[in-house]
Structure 1
Amino acid sequence: MQQPMYVLSEDSSRTRGRAAQDSNVRAGRAVANAVRTTLGPRGMDKMLVDTAGEVVITNDGATILREMDIEHPAAQMLVEVSETQEEAVGDGTTTAAVLAGELLARAEDLLDDAIHPSVIVEGYHEAARIAGEAIDEMRVDADLDDDLLARVAESSMTGKGTGDVAAATLAELVVEAVRRVETDEEIDRDDIRLHARAGAASSASELVDGILLDEEPATDDMPREVTDATVAVLDAKLEVRTGEADAEYAISSVDQLDAAIRAEDAELRGYAETLAAAGVDVLVCSKKIDDRVAGYLADAGILAFTNVSDADAGAVAAVTGAKRLGTLADLDADDLGTAASVSVERHGEDDLTFVRGGSGDGPVTLLLRGSTEHVLAELERAMADAVDVVVAAIEGGVVPGAGATEIAIADRVRSAAAGVEGRTQLAVEAFADAVEALPRTLAENAGIDPIDALVELRSTHESAGSAGIVTGERSASVGDPVAAGIVDPAAVKREAVASATEAARLILRIDDVIAAE
């Protein structure tokens, strides 16, 4: 008898067939269930504590999954789904994770009925295509004015920690920021910077027409505010030049020493004189400024910053329209930028530098305030998501929120299932059931009966064409989300369906797990 050949080490383990599929599906469902209760405006928060005792309080799906110590490889795929969703459109991370978990749960029932994984994968692929068509058909035919965009931002932030200020107020700041950087060609998301600073109420948050730097003047005797400022951005050291080769100079008299000191001092003073002669009021230097040069700059009334990060120096150049200089030689007016004001302001125990009203097309900054670090961290996440969804809405339009689009997707997919041949039809119908789990979860998290809500959602959708879980200050009910001002970017829905389906299909195709112990 031929002896079996073993190609794995003794420390390896192997799970095959249905056992591997069951393990992967359960892991995926567990991850989805971990964030399910955070979905929607009435979703609950999670408190995450790491081994060092650091606490994160949030209901942002991507943050929760990122902070969790997840080891199962299939579960990690759902974490990647939320991360992909976050990077692509900035919101809908919980939706994507929950949908992926529901697709796996429905697939488990089909596997129990002896439906082959390849058939399920094929059905999910077809259903996702139909879902994309449904999303396009649900797009709201309305002008994307500031009011509608503010609703998009507010819908994104509702239920997330915004401190003592209403989401509507912050939404207006977000829309204003996006409009400031919008051009005919595109919207550069990186042109909207977020700067979080604890020590004040959230209502003190503001939009700065420019940028903020965590910098203080090179010396204390420099001016702390310059209006109508001429700005230079320098990427060179302002100190005594040194040769590349090692050299020694022999000084044999006091006169020679004095002459060397005077020459060195003249070189350093020359830097300040060159800048002053060019009319520079503010110098931003990404390299070191010698203390003596800083003193001469202060004497000339120039506000200077030393060792500024490359990113911040680039931002100043973009805001003010200044060129980044590698030397002060041949400095002229075309190399310089302008700003309405450059001011150093005290915030708590730290200095912040504000560069406002630049002549360039550079970024704007949302200065976020919070009474505690936990409030501020959640506010920063909420505002980042809001900026992303407003940009996505401008670029791809909006659809009804509050679960209405998901009801439309399920209805469209279920209707199309009748035209699908064979067992694949069962997978298409399972996809529709999985999508309906999202509005059902919204209803459950809002405190209303999920079964009754789902029945009413289907009925209202058939009669009115749009039905979602509309939440008020004290109650929730089935209604028209567009009339209530609840809209979401179409890109968020499309990305959630695509990424969740792809993750579920990938997991279902695995029938063998080999792990090294």
Structure 2
Amino acid sequence: MAGQPIFILREGSQRTRGREAQSNNIMAAKAVAEAVRTTLGPKGMDKMLVDSLGDVVITNDGATILKEMDIEHPAAKMIVEVAKTQDAEVGDGTTTAAVIAGELLKKAEELIDQDIHPTIIASGYRLASEKAGGIVKTLARSVTKADRNVLMSISGTAMTGKGAEANKDVLSNIVVSAITSIVDEDNKVDMDNIKIEKKVGARIEESQLIEGMIIDKERVHTNMPKKVENAKIALINTAIELKDTEVDAEISITSPEQLQSFLDQEEKMIKDMVDKVSKSGANVVFCQKGIDDMAQHYLAKAGVFAVRRVKKSDMQKLSKATGGKLVTNLDEITQADLGNAALVEEKKIGGDEMTFVTGCKNPKAVSILLRGGTEHVIDNIERALNDALRVVGVAIEDEKLVAGGGSPEVEVALRLQEFASTLSGREQLAVKAFAEALEIIPRTLAENAGLDPIDMLMELRAHHEKGQKTAGLNVYEGKVIDMWEAGVVEPLRVKTQAINAAAESAVMILRIDDIIASRQGPAGPSGADMVPNMPPGGMPGMDM
């Protein structure tokens, strides 16, 4: 037995450990951060992503880019998770989070090369992250839902650089009006109460907010009125047609009279259903299921505007917008169950008939009709609009704002450098590295605008050292200005979440010193074919 190797892992498995594993992970994470870095800021460029089916997405939204990129490396996937979390929590700042995470790892690599243990770096990063969160909070100012101009500025900042800035005044107005309509008493914002309906074929500035609902359906019968004023709306989520029997049954008909009597009875039953609806006082019906042809005829005769097969989510929004209740049993429908709207009408938009429910008294659900020249333009505008909606919602919930344009990052970096000098031991170097890493944001803003990053960073530091905490980079004029006065503001949560998520993922990647990759099955290429220096067979947790 002497000298015989002992196999613990299955044959074909690969193991990378120590410095090689760390540099492998750091390199993959840095590559992902580098991929989205050029999209940061008002002058950021867009990416065109083509999937395996040939579908094209053009965007500079960090989360969308990383979602569409088919990333295999597990460490790189952790950076994608940072962007996804940022998107889920705040809706904006996804590129910022990914770029900071990449830069933290780059700085950590330099420290590892100086023989500083990853555990010490991780400990220093945690200290710095906690301190940075506290510093950012001291820079915050308050905002309320009544500060419309400030909310417009927040929305404009979120849309800038995403293909929507040419029309950001129109869109910001829509965003702020939509969010303030649906805020509840506790200042909570439920984004499900805003419906975005896209239609190609007009200019972006023709987009509009509907204080009510747009349903992408037409009325079921041409004899129905196209327009109903002072609408009493019945929301029915059961079919207005005859049900099949629940038991297997057979009806034996032996004469034409019996057949006629059977058909007459069916017709009477349908007429009774329609009568119940019209007796309740409803002159508009939205039905989640089907409406029988005969029922359509009777509804048209009664002058009722009816729409069928409305989506469940739209039915719920209609209920919130009109104040109506969802009715499951036609026998129990009463006037108290009906919703109200000043007008329900069918309009032709972009070649399609759509139903507009407008003039709701206190709409807790609203719709945005988004227009644009082409599909790609309108998709890009929708992403910008979604970011703006989320960010304005977060600002109203938290009631805290910070300046933009790289000013919080420079201020935090400056204060962290001071904090580092109070520490003894090697953590001091890690805190300094964290401070330097944050400066990647103003540096990248300058680079993407074609400015000299070193000159701009020096000028920013000089302003902040003089106590100008809100001094940020105006990328259009290439100079440092006061971001509060310029109206470049973002919610506090955008910054705190980006710094926290980036620090946590960097620490997690740093603490990995051993990669054990299982044997690859016969199908498909290994991860090593896709990422340099990666062991064959991919890595644990990889979607193969």
TM-score after normalising by structure 2: 0.92
- Deviation of residue 465 (structure 1)? 2.5
- Deviation of residue 343 (structure 1)? 1.4
Residue in structure 1 matching 2:411, options 390, 403, 408 = 408
Distance in 2 separating the partners of 1:137 and 1:182? 27
The answer to whether the 8 Å contact 2:167/2:204 transfers is: no
The answer to whether the 8 Å contact 2:343/2:358 transfers is: yes
> Which aligned pairs between 1:52-451 and structure 2 lie closer than 5 A?
52-141=53-142, 145-162=147-164, 165-185=166-186, 186-359=188-361, 361-396=363-398, 397-451=400-454
CA deviation profile, 1:165-187 (whole Å, cap 9, x unmatched) = 42122112111111111232122
The answer to whether the 8 Å contact 1:155/1:488 transfers is: yes
Question: Does residue 485 in structure 1 map to residue 487 in structure 2?
Answer: yes
Q: Which moved more, 1:218-227 or 1:389-398?
A: 218-227
| Counterpart position of 2:40 | 39
The answer to whether the 8 Å contact 2:408/2:469 transfers is: no
Distance in 1 separating the partners of 2:344 and 2:62? 39
CA deviation profile, 1:252-278 (whole Å, cap 9, x unmatched) = 222222211111110011112221122
Distance in 2 separating the partners of 1:417 and 1:179? 43
SS at match of 2:483: coil
SS at match of 2:485: coil
SS at match of 1:289: coil
Distance in 1 separating the partners of 2:107 and 2:196? 41
- Deviation of residue 55 (structure 1)? 1.4
Distance in 1 separating the partners of 2:479 and 2:170? 25
The answer to whether the 8 Å contact 1:345/1:353 transfers is: yes
CA deviation profile, 1:264-293 (whole Å, cap 9, x unmatched) = 110011112221122111111111111111
Q: Which moved more, 1:187-196 or 1:221-230?
A: 187-196
CA deviation profile, 1:168-218 (whole Å, cap 9, x unmatched) = 221121111111112321222222222221111101111110121111112
CA deviation profile, 1:234-264 (whole Å, cap 9, x unmatched) = 1112112332111112222222222111111
Q: Which moved more, 1:335-344 or 1:398-407?
A: 335-344
Distance in 2 separating the partners of 1:240 and 1:136? 62
Residue in structure 2 matching 1:471, options 470, 475, 483 = 475
Moved beyond 4 Å, runs of 4+: 141-144
Distance in 1 separating the partners of 2:197 and 2:417? 46
Distance in 2 separating the partners of 1:193 and 1:126? 42
Distance in 2 separating the partners of 1:103 and 1:90? 22
| Counterpart position of 2:524 | none
Q: Which moved more, 1:177-186 or 1:34-43?
A: 177-186
- Deviation of residue 360 (structure 1)? 5.5
Distance in 2 separating the partners of 1:183 and 1:146? 17
Distance in 1 separating the partners of 2:313 and 2:143? 38
SS at match of 1:329: helix
- Deviation of residue 52 (structure 1)? 2.0
CA deviation profile, 1:121-160 (whole Å, cap 9, x unmatched) = 1111000011101111111256661001111110111111
Distance in 1 separating the partners of 2:263 and 2:396? 62
**CA distance 1:292–1:141, change in 2 (3 Å):** closer
The answer to whether the 8 Å contact 2:144/2:396 transfers is: no
The answer to whether the 8 Å contact 2:202/2:371 transfers is: yes
SS at match of 2:484: coil
Distance in 1 separating the partners of 2:353 and 2:143? 45
SS at match of 1:365: strand
Distance in 2 separating the partners of 1:65 and 1:42? 20
Distance in 2 separating the partners of 1:143 and 1:260? 65
- Deviation of residue 102 (structure 1)? 0.2
**CA distance 1:459–1:143, change in 2 (3 Å):** farther
Where does structure 2 lack aligned partners over 5 or more consecutive residues?
A: 521-544
Distance in 1 separating the partners of 2:273 and 2:361? 25
SS at match of 1:231: strand
Distance in 2 separating the partners of 1:334 and 1:200? 40
SS at match of 1:250: coil
- Deviation of residue 381 (structure 1)? 0.3
Residue in structure 1 matching 2:457, options 454, 458, 483 = 454
Distance in 2 separating the partners of 1:12 and 1:106? 31
Distance in 2 separating the partners of 1:169 and 1:284? 31
| 2:418 aligned partner, one-letter code | S
The answer to whether the 8 Å contact 2:139/2:469 transfers is: no
The answer to whether the 8 Å contact 2:227/2:346 transfers is: yes
TM-score after normalising by structure 1: 0.97
SS at match of 1:51: coil
Q: Percent identity?
A: 45
Question: Does residue 11 in structure 1 map to residue 15 in structure 2?
Answer: no
The answer to whether the 8 Å contact 1:130/1:412 transfers is: no
Where does structure 1 lack aligned partners over 5 or more consecutive residues?
A: none
Distance in 2 separating the partners of 1:198 and 1:189? 23
Distance in 2 separating the partners of 1:142 and 1:386? 16
| 1:511 aligned partner, one-letter code | D
Distance in 1 separating the partners of 2:364 and 2:184? 12
Distance in 1 separating the partners of 2:363 and 2:193? 9
SS at match of 1:40: coil
SS at match of 1:482: helix
The answer to whether the 8 Å contact 2:211/2:363 transfers is: no
The answer to whether the 8 Å contact 1:460/1:466 transfers is: no
- Deviation of residue 355 (structure 1)? 1.4
Distance in 2 separating the partners of 1:318 and 1:432? 47
SS at match of 2:332: coil
The answer to whether the 8 Å contact 1:162/1:375 transfers is: no
CA deviation profile, 1:353-408 (whole Å, cap 9, x unmatched) = 11112346431112111101111011000000001111111222110100000011
Name the count of aligned residue pairs.
514
